[in-house]
Amino acid sequence: MSATLSPGSALHGVCSSAAALRCGLLIVGLALSLDLAAAVLRVGPGEAFERIADAAKAARDGDIVEIMPGEYRGDVTVWRQKELLIRGIGERPVLIAGGRIAEGKAIWVIRNGNIRIENIEFRGARIRGGNGAGIRFERGRLEVRNCAFIDNQNGILTANFTDAELTIRDSLFAQAPRQEHSLPHLLYVGRIARFELSGSRFHQGYRGHLVKTRARHNDIRYNLLYDGPLGEASYELDLPNGGVAFVIGNIIGQSVNTQNPIVVAYGAEGQFWPENALYLAHNTLLSDRLTGTWFLRTFSERLPPDTEILGINNLTVGIGAFTLAASGTFRGNVPLPPGGLRDPGTLDFRPQGTSLLRWITEPAGSVGDVSLVPDAEFALPLGTRPLPSGHSWLPGALQSGD
């Protein structure tokens, strides 16, 4: 049956089309006007701003701050904008505290906004109390990409606002200061809503932890948390207040000079969040400690009895135990003796005997809508490389074992 349109209905269609066109043009015009309103503020010798602090005062919400290569010594500041992109241009600009600190907290303080920081290096943050940070993140959403945090009492330190979110991609945290009066952590995440870490490298800690996070939800994937021969960190990964944690596809290793025999700790300081679960899948856990280690320690007596702990397809390398100090469900995990990896000294963490190991792994599956199957692996010097789907899996973090 064919439908017929009355002149009125045809006119209505034309009017609707015209209205849609006008609406579309209005949206495009609005987008263009917003884009034109966003200013680009450049910092560096001969630029509109020679000091980052001056650009921070002048920037408006939605602006872009670009920092030219070079050293910026003692140029500390507080960012108060609600929306901002801050990026280094070309060779990574280096911010050296040089004895100065913003608000007694950090080289940069992020007050409360949706902020993205790219390609910046932070060095030498110190305060008398021992918690000077490259970045002090207080509230809002912060995304950090391709940045470096070297020789700070804390690389990044967050406040404890339970609606804050922190994402770190492809960044370097290294060389904790050798201080005795307080514990320097390369990264210290407080009681925030969400923390994501991927493609990043941590090494050469001292007394404190490489990564310490109290976040409610943690997604930690495809990182190299390996202290190295010059490191003396305590825990390599510490989740002291539980929470929900997905730890997938990481290389996590302690040095021979570690200050603590635990590699991954969960719940050491007791429950804070209502939901608690730890999912470890396809991690390579190694220790150079000669007297033995706990690759995983869960403090079950300090957590709710229904806390789920799952360890699947992890590789442990060295002298120590994986499940002895942890309660939970474990399958497909493989212990290797010292020497079971190609050459950790040159950061080659591929396992020996891959043809046999492929027969041991089990399907990792998923938890809810979160897959425990890795889709990438850490790639030196920083970042990740994608993994093809459908191949046979190895235990541990590196699937390109052959």
Say yes or no to pLDDT of 348 above 80.
Answer: yes
Whole-angstrom distance, CA of residue 377 vs CA of residue 222:
5
Say yes or no to pLDDT of 5 above 70.
Answer: no
| pLDDT at 43 (0 to 100) | 98
Mean pLDDT of 344-348: 95
Say yes or no to pLDDT of 253 above 70.
Answer: yes
Mean pLDDT of 328-353: 93
Q: Lowest mean pLDDT: which of 14-18, 55-59, 239-243, 313-317?
A: 14-18
Residue 27: pLDDT band with limits 50, 70, 90: low
Mean pLDDT of 163-192: 96
| pLDDT at 21 (0 to 100) | 57
| pLDDT at 325 (0 to 100) | 78
Percentage of residues in the chain having pLDDT higher than 70: 90
The answer to whether 56 touches 79, Cβ cutoff 8 Å, is yes
| Mean of pLDDT over the chain | 91
Name the more confident of 5 and 67: 67
Structure tokens at 245: 């944690």
Say yes or no to pLDDT of 3 above 50.
Answer: no
| pLDDT at 358 (0 to 100) | 83
Residue 290: pLDDT band with limits 50, 70, 90: confident
Say yes or no to pLDDT of 31 above 80.
Answer: no
The answer to whether 65 touches 85, Cβ cutoff 8 Å, is yes
CB-count burial class (<10 Å; 0-12, 13-18, 19+) for 297: buried
pLDDT 10s digits, 82-126: 999 999 999 999 999 999 999 999 999 999 999 999 999 999 999
| pLDDT at 4 (0 to 100) | 36
pLDDT 10s digits, 119-164: 999 999 999 999 999 999 999 999 999 999 999 999 999 999 999 9
pLDDT 10s digits, 291-311: 889 999 999 999 999 999 999
Q: Of 120, 153, 119, whose CA–CA distance to 136 is shortest?
A: 153
pLDDT 10s digits, 196-247: 999 999 999 999 999 999 999 999 999 999 999 999 999 999 999 999 999 9
Mean pLDDT of 372-401: 90
| pLDDT at 18 (0 to 100) | 54
Residue 26: pLDDT band with limits 50, 70, 90: low
Residue 10: pLDDT band with limits 50, 70, 90: very low
Question: Domain map of the chain by residue range?
Answer: 160-386
What phi and psi, each to the nearest 5 degrees, are found at residue 364?
A: -75, -30
